[in-house]
């Protein structure tokens, strides 16, 4: 089974509107972390936002927020007030386990976001 | 800004040749990772160093692949006897313990 599922291969949004990118995950660990990264055409993976499994509040970083629904195992990224520069691939990733064993990330296949002027 | 730096950015090589990539992590980061990304996929974990110790190698890393991190600073990833299936983007990342990983811009390898 896929550990990270991103069901939207591509999404379109109008500039200045909000968009939600979906991510569901599968783990039996109680302690885990969820990440979103942005990958522009230049190739670099840019860290956007992090949510820990024990965090009670949804994470927010500027225009990015993470809609964390633990029971549904979903961690959707919400981008508010989209900008043309937001056009990129977006990857959801998970780091399982606690203590020193949690280091590697498992990524989904990504969602290509296009922001239209 | 001294982020993660990778060199070269692009490499074209003939099948059967050896290639070596370099990664310079963020200086205070003790953890370093290599990932591989093929077209249309997310990055896949290859290997992990904590300081100079290589603590895990993925089964994706065949015997033709070797990675080092001497003195716990920069790292190199070598591929011997390259094959067309090795064509991919090779991404390096670094982090502090339990913190988010910061990625470099990657080395795009094309094997012809």
Best residue of B42, B47, B90, B96 to probe chain A, by most A CBs closer than 10 Å: B42
On chain A, the residues whose CB falls within 8 A of the CB of B50 are 103
Percent of chain B with pLDDT over 70: 99
| Yes or no, beta carbons of A93 and B44 under 8 Å apart | no
What is the chain A residue with the closest CA to B6? A44
Question: Which residue from A39, A7, A23 is spatially nearest to A78, judged by alpha carbons?
Answer: A23
According to the model, what pLDDT value does residue A1 have?
A: 66
According to the model, what pLDDT value does residue B72 have?
A: 84
Tens-binned pLDDT, residue by residue, of chain A (117 aa): 679 999 999 999 999 999 999 999 999 999 999 999 999 998 889 999 999 999 989 999 999 999 999 999 999 999 999 999 999 999 999 998 766 566 889 999 999 999 999
Question: Which residue from B46, B40, B7, B37 is spatially nearest to B25, judged by alpha carbons?
Answer: B7
On chain A, the residues whose CB falls within 8 A of the CB of B94 are none
Low-confidence ranges of chain B (pLDDT < 50): none
What is the C-alpha separation between B80 and B75, in angstroms, rounded? 16
| Yes or no, beta carbons of A102 and B98 under 8 Å apart | yes
E strand map for A1-117? 4-5, 10-14, 19-21, 24-25, 32-39, 46-52, 60-61, 64-69, 74-79, 88-96, 106-107, 111-116
Question: What pLDDT, in 10s, does the model give residues B81-112?
Answer: 999 999 999 999 999 877 789 999 999 999 99
According to the model, what pLDDT value does residue A98 have?
A: 65
Neighbour order of strands in the sheet with B65-68: B5-7, B19-24, B75-79, B65-68
B77: its two tokens: 């990833």
| Yes or no, beta carbons of A43 and B89 under 8 Å apart | yes
């Amino acid at each position: 089974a896929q550990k990270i599922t991103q069901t939207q291969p591509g999404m379109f949004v109008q500039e200045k509107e909000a968009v939600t990118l979906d991510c569901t995950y599968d783990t039996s660990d109680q302690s885990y972390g969820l990440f979103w990264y942005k990958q522009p055409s230049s190739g670099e993976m840019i860290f956007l936002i992090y949510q820990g499994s024990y965090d009670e509040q949804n994470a927010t970083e500027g225009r990015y927020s993470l809609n964390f629904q633990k029971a549904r195992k979903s961690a959707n990224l919400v981008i508010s007030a989209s900008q043309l520069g937001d056009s990129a691939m977006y990857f959801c990733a998970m780091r399982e386990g606690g203590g020193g064993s949690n280091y590697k990330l498992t990524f989904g296949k990504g969602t290509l976001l296009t922001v239209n002027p | 800004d001294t982020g993660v730096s990778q060199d070269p950015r692009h490499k074209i090589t003939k099948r059967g040749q050896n290639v070596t990539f370099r990664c310079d992590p963020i200086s205070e980061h003790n953890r370093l990772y290599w990932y591989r990304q093929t077209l249309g996929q997310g990055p896949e974990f290859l290997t992990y160093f904590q300081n100079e110790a290589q603590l895990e190698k993925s089964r994706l890393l065949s015997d033709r692949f070797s990675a080092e991190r001497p003195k716990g600073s920069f790292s190199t990833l070598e591929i011997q006897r390259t094959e067309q299936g090795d064509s991919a983007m090779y991404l390096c990342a670094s982090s502090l313990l339990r913190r988010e990983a910061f990625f470099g811009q990657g080395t795009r390898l094309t094997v012809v």
